[in-house]
Structure 1
Amino acid sequence: MCYNCGCKKPNDAHDKEENITNQTIRNAAEAMGMNFEDSIKNMNELAEIEISEHSEGVVHGHGLDHDHDHDHSKS
């Protein structure tokens, strides 16, 4: 769906490359040596954390307004 707009069309970027689609996730997964399904699961887990912390007004840890630089490379 462009995952960010809510249209429920996972392959439609609405002519805006900034929107998140299945292809965006596939590209990110490939860049990390992961598969699409695991990437979606990881995104879902993080989204639940972000939503929970944002709704609780958390200003530390994984907040919606914070950028985090993590090394996800595999040894």
Structure 2
Amino acid sequence: MRINHNIAALNTYRQLNAASTGQTKSMEKLSSGLRINRAGDDAAGLAISEKMRAQVRGLEQASANAQDGRLEMPL
């Protein structure tokens, strides 16, 4: 029994897959315009970003609540 294989073709195929994966990730980053698209890109940066977004949403809501309260106050 003889097993035929082409090492050069297998290496080329592996390199092609690696290049294709890299290209796909780069296109995703370019098309979204974001530095971090998923936790795999930068887990710590994503956690910090999400915390800051939550703080901004909280401050925006507090401001809206204050404006609503001011509108309800009688003169």
TM bucket (normalised to shorter chain) is 0.3 to 0.5
- Structure with bigger helix share is 2
Q: Which is bigger in relative contact order (C-alpha 8 A, separation at least 6)?
A: 1
Structure with bigger gyration radius: 2
